[in-house]
Amino acid sequence: MAGADKHDADTVKRKDAIHTKILCFVFTGESIGTERLAIETHHMHPILNIAVKAARRAATVINRASTQVDLLTVESKAPNDFVTEVDRAAENAIIEVLRDAYPQHGILAEESGTSGGPDDSEYQWIIDPLDGTTNFLHGFPQYAISIALARNGVLEHAVVFDPTRNELFTASKGSGAFLNDRRIRVTRRTRLAESLIGTGFPFREFKHLDAYLAMFRELTQKTAGIRRPGAAALDLAYVASGRLDGFWEMGLQPWDMAAGALLIQEAGGLVGDLAGESAFMQTGNMVAGAPKIFAQLLSVIQPHRPAARQA
C-alpha cells in the first residue's frame, strides 16, 4: 500500500514536471532543445547538474571516436586491460568541467588516479570515463560514462550515461533515482528462479576463477537467466531501472561501482560485498539487487566465496 501511495505521489510529481515544462515553453517561447534541458534539470541538485554536464562532454568525445575505432591506438595496461586516447580524452574533459566548478574537490579517476583538492578532501569525485572499453573497441554498443561524488566516503551524487542510447541515469542521496526525467525503481521480483541476473566474468585476474565458476554454475540453474553485457556501471544502472533483478561480480574497481551503487540504493535496492556487508568499495566484490533477490543471491554466493576476508 505504501508502494502504491508512493507511486501516486510520483505520478503527481511527473505531472508537475510536465506542467512546468509546458509553462516554461509558453513563457520563454524557447526552442524544444532548451525546453528538454529544463525538464531534465527539474529534479537536479546543482552538483548533479555539473556532473551531468561533465558526462555529456565525455560523451561528445566518445561518440566522435566511435565511428572510427579502427584508427585508435590501443595500449594494454595489463593483459586484457585496454586503454585508448579516447578513455584519456574523455577523462580530461570530465575533470576539466568538475575542476572548473569545484576546484577544492578531490578526484579519483581510472586513468589519472588521484588529483586535485587537499589530501583530506571532504569531497571526492570517482570517475570512469569509459566503462566497457573492450565493447567500445569492438563496436559493441554497451558502454557508459560513470561519475559519482562521495562526501567523507558517503556517496551523494551519481551519473551513469549511455551515449549510444542517450540514456542518462542520475541519483542524489535521498532524492531517488531517474532515467532521463523518469523516476526508476528496482523490480518487485521476489523469486530468484524468475530473475534475470547480470554479472561480469573474470578476465584480468584468475585467482578467484574457481570460486566465481562455482557461483555461476549454481546461479545458472537457479535463475531465469544470466547476462554479461560488459560494462559494470551500466549493469548496475540496469538493476536500478528494473531491467535486471540482480548483479554480482568480483574484482571491480571503485570507479566501476560508485555511481551504480547509489543509483541502486536510491531506486530501492540493496548493494553489498559477497558477505552482504558494506565493504564492496574496498574489496571490489559486489552483489546487488532488488531486496528479496539480493538476499537469495547472497545465500547462493556466500558458500562459494574464496575466504571470509575476501568478502
List interacting residues with ligand IPD (CB under 6 A): 128, 131-134, 200, 230-232, 249, 252, 256
Angle between helices 32-40 and 2-28 (to 10 degrees): 150
Going by the DSSP 8-state scheme, the letter that residue 73 receives in this structure is -
* Contact partner at residue 54 from ligand IPD, Ca ion, none, CB < 5 to 8 Å by partner kind: none
- Residue 236 near residue 264 (C-beta atoms within 8 A): yes
Tell which one of 40, 91, 181, 256 touches Ca ion (CB under 5 A): 256
Find the residue with minimal CB distance to ligand IPD.
200
d(CA 52, CA 41): 9
Q: Which is nearer to ligand IPD, 252 or 290 (CB)?
A: 252
Q: Which is nearer to ligand IPD, 257 or 290 (CB)?
A: 257
How near is the Cβ of 302 to Ca ion at its closest, in Å?
Answer: 25
Give 236's Cβ-side CA count (13 Å radius): 36
* Contact partner at residue 230 from ligand IPD, Ca ion, none, CB < 5 to 8 Å by partner kind: ligand IPD
How near is the Cβ of 227 to ligand IPD at its closest, in Å?
Answer: 11
What the block records as the C-alpha cell of 132 is 566497457
* Contact partner at residue 252 from ligand IPD, Ca ion, none, CB < 5 to 8 Å by partner kind: ligand IPD
Q: Which is nearer to ligand IPD, 230 or 268 (CB)?
A: 230
d(CA 257, CA 65): 25
Can you name the residues that pair with 152 across neighbouring β-strands? none
* Contact partner at residue 51 from Ca ion, ligand IPD, none, CB < 5 to 8 Å by partner kind: none
- Listed in sequence order, the residues at least 6 apart from 293 whose beta carbon sits closer than 8 Å to its beta carbon are 187, 189, 190, 192, 195, 197, 245, 246
How near is the Cβ of 87 to ligand IPD at its closest, in Å?
Answer: 8
Stretch that binds Ca ion, among 21-29, 114-122, 256-264, 276-284 (CB under 5 A): 256-264
Find the residue with minimal CB distance to Ca ion.
131
How near is the Cβ of 293 to ligand IPD at its closest, in Å?
Answer: 20
How near is the Cβ of 131 to ligand IPD at its closest, in Å?
Answer: 4
* Contact partner at residue 231 from Ca ion, ligand IPD, none, CB < 5 to 8 Å by partner kind: ligand IPD
User: Residue 170 in 3-state DSSP?
Assistant: strand
- Residue 264 near residue 288 (C-beta atoms within 8 A): yes
- Listed in sequence order, the residues at least 6 apart from 139 whose beta carbon sits closer than 8 Å to its beta carbon are 66, 69
- Residues 80 to 119 in contact with Ca ion, rule: CB under 5 A: 110
User: Residue 43 in 3-state DSSP?
Assistant: coil
Mark residue 18 as left, alpha or beta (left: phi above 0; alpha: psi -120 to 50; beta: remaining): alpha
d(CA 183, CA 122): 29
* Contact partner at residue 215 from ligand IPD, Ca ion, none, CB < 5 to 8 Å by partner kind: none
Using the structure block, give the residue that is written with the C-alpha cell 540496469.
Answer: 238
- Residues 123 to 182 in contact with Ca ion, rule: CB under 5 A: 128, 130-131
How near is the Cβ of 252 to ligand IPD at its closest, in Å?
Answer: 5
How near is the Cβ of 219 to Ca ion at its closest, in Å?
Answer: 22
What the block records as the C-alpha cell of 147 is 561519475
Q: Which is nearer to Ca ion, 86 or 184 (CB)?
A: 86
- Residue 110 near residue 140 (C-beta atoms within 8 A): no
Contact residues: Ca ion, CB under 5 A: 110, 128, 130-131, 256
